[in-house]
Structure 1
Amino acid sequence: MTEDPRTDAVSQQYDRWEYPPPVQDLEAWAANGHWDWFDPSWSHRIFWPDQEYRPDLDILIAGCGTSQAAACAFMNQGARVVAIDVSRSALNHEQYLKTKHGLDNLELHLLPIEEVSALGRDFDLIVCSGVLHHMADPLTGLRALGRCLRTDGVLAVMLYAKYGRIGVEILESVFHDMGLSRDEASVRLVKDAIAVLPPDHPASSYVRVARDLLSDGGLVDTFLHARQRSYTVAECLDLVGAAGLVFQGWFHKTPYYPHDLFPPGSTLPSVLSKLPDAKLWSVMERFQTTNATHYFLACRPERPMEQYAVDFSDPGALDYVPLMRTACRLSGDEIFLRGVQLKLNPAQLPFVQRVDSRRTIREICGSVAQLEGFSGRGDAQIQEFGHKLFEALWRLDFLAMALRTDSTD
């Protein structure tokens, strides 16, 4: 007999060890520069490249935790936000935030993902971040979510990535064999072990940068979890397909492309460029093994691909409209994103300076062609250069691409 998700070890863990650490004030949270990656007020053009932001979305936060749903309702006050979770304490804090900020657009339910059909609703956007990999049967959960997704809707998912968590899984196995559980004494022992971790241990690089480990709840969630698994690229794609959905694309693309990884003269880029996307992504996650999370989007197979597909091999790619992604900014000749910066050379800079969320790549290239220093180059040469530059910045997550519609004219 399957254990009730409302009372199993996972729900008991989150009732005792709050995670993520609960936000106490959403106004202060937003004012201090925090955001949620899957918040449509920031990322709508990644979900729907062919549409402007719609304030009246129906949104489901599946596994809302302590604050995610309230933050979404706060940032999207014209939307109707429904939140489900199996942790009563998490929902209690969501209720606190709902009351504190007067979030009449937020609805809360103690409900497992497997039973989401009980809501009798369908949604434009379903966010399920860091939840499916804790379920007894992730496929059952994803199928249930897919059934309440609208035809043109988007399902935004985060799953643990296998290769970036190898060190974490090694330590998990160590703590399991030591007989640790989810109590205060075990948490103290985990802290002691991390403090003496050799610098060359596979978990050391993760421990150095993981802000989650600053809280006891984060330590329990990372190293002492009641149930979790991690996924390769191929397993993510298989999970989406088995759920009857279509893989829309990576929300964070950087880990899955080669960029400038290889030295000049290497033949590897040429070989990699001939691989189909799924194979390339799989190869690159094994080259670049630090990525610990897969952020991706899925949709229903009935949704027309031309509404969401961004494909730089398409001749129509010059009609894409580049726009800066959340927290991305250009300062001088450098472009910044989440502590990452890229210095642009004099040939690249004029193209990025003309990104205004309105002009197409073709129009930007035409404007650059009028500049002194570019007039000697033909239109085709400038367009080829701009095409490659914008594809590279899109793959590096500095830019998103809007599909040209009447609303972007």
Structure 2
Amino acid sequence: MEDTVTEAVRKQYEAYSYPPPIEDAEKFLRKWGPLTCDPKFAGIQLWPEGRPRQDLRILCAGCGSSQAPLIALNNPDCSVLGIDLSETSLAHSNRLRDRHGLANLELRQMSLLDVGELNRSFDLIICTGVLHHLPNPDAGLKALAEVLDPSGSMAIMLYGKTGRAGVYLLQDILRRLGAGQNAEGLAMARELLKFVPSHHYLISTTGKLPNDLAEDAGIVDMLLHPQDRAYSVPEIMEFVETAGLIFFGWSDNALYCADRFLSGEMLERVLALPAAEQWAVIDNLTVLNSRHDFFVRKPHNMRFLTRFDTDDFLSYVPLVRSGVRLAGDVNSLILTRASLEGEVVTPISKSDALLLEQADGKKSIAQILSHSLSTGGEPEQRTNFARAVFERMWRSGHLLFGRSNS
């Protein structure tokens, strides 16, 4: 059964390359910037303690038509291996490799379930939009975990259960109608989309049909796929733990931030819950997340997790996330930035702002407090004030944290 499903998935991506191929990786990066899983973009999230080496060994597991070339182009000192089931997708990647002279990129047609046969280990494994298409995602993640270096990190994207409710309702309709991955099935899907009402789950969070449904490959991938599943937050936590890994953080905390969507007594109640429970509440409440982007590592790296329940946070080195802007006036200050699901706006006080303006990615929180003129009072009061401010900014995704070597 598993081989049958895997073969059906392979044939789909042979016939309908997805994501759509790109012709020029340099133009793509100039227009859109690095991928969110790129170590140049997410390095501090992947390795708060500092990346293990400059010449990273990177595996793009299920690299599709362009992911591996984009990573290789943007990280010329690193060696990148892209693997995929689809010969068509690899052909697109190979053209990009030739066009840009990517000597650091290797491409192979193979299943990620067979990565152990490579007899290699990797400092970074990128697997986005792949595991949820396997008949047995648990086996896929375990296979990747076995080739992850002890100091390595993994960037994963899985479909989100709350944000894809409408997708699965339409998938069910098309299965009942017998729609296949052919011209007739595509025509049937396009005809069905004409009748989707504005209050349907497929539309309601955005006000319009998803952009992916404008092209045949997108319709096939979203509505006619032979195998996909989606995950709730608790299911992600179980998925990661079952593979013997630890959840190491979201790509953007703002999508799971209680402060952003709640206030008053309800916010206090939710913030009293463990972090994973907070994330589950917000995911269920907002139904924003059609995808979950996150990082995982091996258990002995748990000491590098970001947490604020001890004074160890004083050794963290705060860095303001790219794109964050201070706006408003002295009586009504806000931090604002764009995110995957809309603008993130966070009110802050003048005292907060004076503390945050010293977050330069070089000084630890302890060093900031020792030189700060922004807060008076006893050392314990200053520490608790800093804890509250930096934790709230972390929950909102405005701040990232490295680790001080001192």
TM-score (ref. length: structure 2) = 0.90
Q: Which residue of structure 2 lines up, in the alignment, with residue 133 of structure 1?
A: 132
Question: In structure 2, the residue corresponding to 1:236 is in which secondary structure?
Answer: helix
SS in 1 for 2:401: strand
Matching residue within 347, 351, 355 for 2:351? 347
2:401 matched residue in structure 1: 401
Q: 1:247 to 1:69 in 2, by over 3 A?
A: same
Q: Are residue 324 (structure 1) and residue 320 (structure 2) matched?
A: yes
Q: Which stretch shifts more, 249-258 or 228-237?
A: 249-258
Q: Give the stretch that moved more between structures: 39-48 or 308-317.
A: 308-317
- Provide Cα deviations, 1:233-272, integer angstroms capped at 9, x if missing partner: 22212222222222223333233331143333x2x33332
Alignment-derived partner of residue 312 in structure 1: 308
- Is contact 2:254–2:344 with CA below 8 Å preserved after alignment? no
* Structure 1 counterpart of 2:199, one-letter code: D
Secondary structure in structure 2 of the residue aligned to 1:3:
helix
Instruction: Using the TM superposition, give the Cα deviation of residue 366 of structure 1 relative to its aligned residue in structure 2, in angstroms.
Output: 4.4
Q: What residue in structure 2 maps to residue 359 of structure 1?
A: 363
1:16-53, CA deviations, whole angstroms, 9 ceiling, x for partnerless residues? Answer: 11110112111111111332111001111101101158
Q: What's the counterpart of residue 32 of structure 1?
A: 31
User: Using the alignment, how far apart are the partners of 1:210 and 1:145 within structure 2?
Assistant: 31
Partner of 1:156: 155
| Residues in 2 aligned to 1:331 and 1:271: alpha-carbon distance in whole angstroms | 29
Residue 164 of structure 2 aligns with an amino acid whose one-letter code is R
Once the two structures are superposed, residues 369-403 of structure 1 have per-residue CA deviations (whole angstroms, 9 ceiling, x without a partner) of 2x5xx56x555444433322221221122221111
2-structure distance, mates of 1:240, 1:299? 9
Q: How many residues align?
A: 396
Gaps of 5+ in 2: 329-334
User: SS of the counterpart of 1:234?
Assistant: helix
- Does residue 107 (structure 1) correspond to residue 102 (structure 2)? The answer is no
The alpha carbon displacement at 1:354 in A equals 2.2
The residue type equivalent to 1:329 in the other structure is V
How many angstroms apart in 1 are the aligned matches of 2:320 and 2:13? 36
Alpha carbons of structure 1 residues 389 and 215: separation in structure 2 relative to 1, 3 Å: farther
Equivalent residue letter for 1:34:
G
Asked if structure 2 preserves the Cα contact closer than 8 Å seen for 1:129 and 1:158, the reply is yes
1:161–1:232 contact (8 Å) kept in structure 2: yes
| Alpha carbons 1:361, 1:387 under 8 Å: kept | no
Paired amino acid for 2:308 = F
Report the CA distance between 1:344 and its aligned residue: 4.2
User: Is the Cα contact below 8 Å between 1:321 and 1:361 reproduced in 2?
Assistant: yes
Kept after mapping to 1: 8 A contact 2:123/2:152: yes
Distance 1:177 1:206, change over 3 A: farther
Most deviating of 158-167 and 388-397? 388-397
Instruction: State yes or no: 1:251 paired with 2:251.
Output: yes
Q: 1:125 is paired with a residue of what secondary structure?
A: strand
Distance 1:349 1:13 in 2: 51
Residues 141/193 of structure 1: CA separation in 2 closer, same or farther (3 Å cut): same
Tell me the secondary structure at the aligned position of residue 32 of structure 1: helix
The residue that corresponds to 1:284 in the other structure is: 282
Question: Structure 1 residue 64 and structure 2 residue 63: aligned?
Answer: yes
Q: Is 2:185 aligned against 1:194? A: no
Deviation at residue 225 of structure 1 after TM alignment: 0.8
Measured at CA, do residues 229 and 2 of structure 1 come closer, stay the same or move farther in structure 2, by a change above 3 Å?
closer
Partners of 2:209 and 2:386 lie apart in 1 by 35
Task: Give 1:320 shift.
Answer: 1.2
Aligned to 1:234: 234
Which AA in structure 2 matches 1:61?
C
Output the aligned Cα RMSD.
2.3
**1:142 to partner: Cα distance:** 0.9
Task: Check 1:361–1:205 CA distance in 2 against 1; reply closer, same or farther (3 A cut).
Answer: farther
The alignment-based identity, stated in percent, is 32
Shift of the 214–399 alpha-carbon distance from structure 1 to 2, 3 Å rule, reads: farther
2 CA distance for matches of 1:55 and 1:30? 21
SS in structure 1 of the partner of residue 33 of structure 2: coil
2:280 and 2:72 map into 1 onto residues whose CA distance is 35
Superposed displacement of residue 71, structure 1: 0.4
Secondary structure in 2 matching 1:271: helix
* Aligned equivalents of 1:315, 1:255: Cα separation in 2: 27
Matches of 2:109 and 2:197, distance apart in 1: 42
The residue identity in structure 2 corresponding to 1:113 is: L
Residues 155 and 118 (structure 1), Cα distance of their counterparts in 2 relative to 1, 3 Å cut: same
Pick closer, same or farther for the CA change 1:2–1:291 going to 2, 3 Å: closer
1:321-368: CA deviation from partner (whole Å, max 9, x where unpaired): 11133x423254543233524254433322332221112223334444
Preserved contact between residue 55 and residue 77 of structure 1 (Cα < 8 Å): no
Q: How does 1:42-191 map to 2 (within 5 A)?
A: 42-52=41-51, 54-191=53-190
Deviation at 1:2, TM superposition (A): 4.3
